[in-house]
Structure 1
Amino acid sequence: MLTIPGRDLASARTARHYVRDTCRSWSLPGGTTDDLVAVAGELAANALEHTDSRTVTVTCALTADTATVGVTDDGRSAGTPVMSASTGGTEVECEGGRGLLITDALATRWGTWRSDGGLSVWAEVAIEATS
């Protein structure tokens, strides 16, 4: 588990490094690692940008077939994440709001849960087979 400072988008980089190091310690394949790192960066950036959380916590979990990353804010968010923050407009106009779209594309499944401790967004990635 890693706790990063909130309200600072640079903390997303720290989250990505933490997830990459964790995946390497688990000897996960490169593709799985890359997907988890990308998802972690997107989830952390969402929490950092769209909440007033003082801290954000990043967790990783491993099973035989999947690896999961979770990002939890401290409950100061405006609401539950939505799939797309933008509707309509050109690709350039819709530059923001892609974090959960990227997560949806890379993850086997993902979801949210709210508790007294904040909002958690998690994503599970299947571990790719190695030859």
Structure 2
Amino acid sequence: MTEPLVLELLALPKAVAEVRHAVREHLGAPCPEAQLCVSELLTNMINHVGEGAAVTVRLFLTPDGRTRLEVTDPDPHTWLIARSPSGDDETGRGLLLLDAVARRWGVWLTPIGKTVWCELPPDASTAQAGGEPTSP
């Protein structure tokens, strides 16, 4: 089993594509659901916490084979709110997409920020990822 993917970076729009690429490379196979989820989590963080914030992205397999993505940022006060955008709204669908694709997702607060996470069901294309988190 390979080590988890851990990326520490500045939250900039150009980082979204770079992180999607890193996730695909780490998994070693097409992984559209994982790439979509990491894109949405990171973009949401950039839009609501702000560009340039320090962020950590982690990807690993849980012991039962689920792919888990985590995005940690330094702002415990910016909370996620699922919206109900109208057909004309250009934004507001990120958490709806996450909810549709992920098996489950959530947020936990820490003394220094928050982590937004999601888990994808076991999938043969992601069986090469590995490692376990150091926290829940």
Counterpart residue number, 1:100: 95
CA distance in 2, matches of 1:101, 1:35: 13
Q: In structure 2, how many angstroms separate the alpha carbons of the residues matched to 1:111 and 1:48?
A: 18
| TM-score, length basis structure 1 | 0.80
- Please, what is the CA RMSD of the aligned residues? 1.9
Tell me the residue number matched to 2:133.
none
Cα shift at 1:78: 4.6
Number of equivalent positions: 118
Conservation of the 8 A alpha-carbon contact between 1:4 and 1:15: no
Segments of structure 2 that go 5 or more residues without pairing to the other structure are 1-5, 126-136
**Uncovered stretches (5+) of structure 1, i.e. residues with no partner:** none
- Which residue of the partner structure matches residue 61 of structure 1? 60
With over 3 angstroms needed to count, the CA separation of the structure-2 counterparts of 1:117 and 1:22, relative to structure 1, is: farther
Contact 1:114 1:120 in 2 (8 A): yes
| 1:17 counterpart SS class | helix
Aligned to 1:35: 33
1:54 shift after superposition: 2.0
Q: Deviations over 1:16-74 (max 9, x none)?
A: 112111211xx6xx4xx210110000000011111036211100110342101111111
Runs of 4+ in 1 over 6 A off after TM superposition: none
Give aligned-pair identity as a percent: 31
Indicate if the aligned counterparts of 1:9 and 1:49 stay in contact, CA closer than 8 A.
no
**Who is 2:82 aligned against?**
83
Cα shift readout 1:83-131 (whole Å, capped 9, x = no counterpart): 12x55x4x12x2201111111110000000111221111010012358x
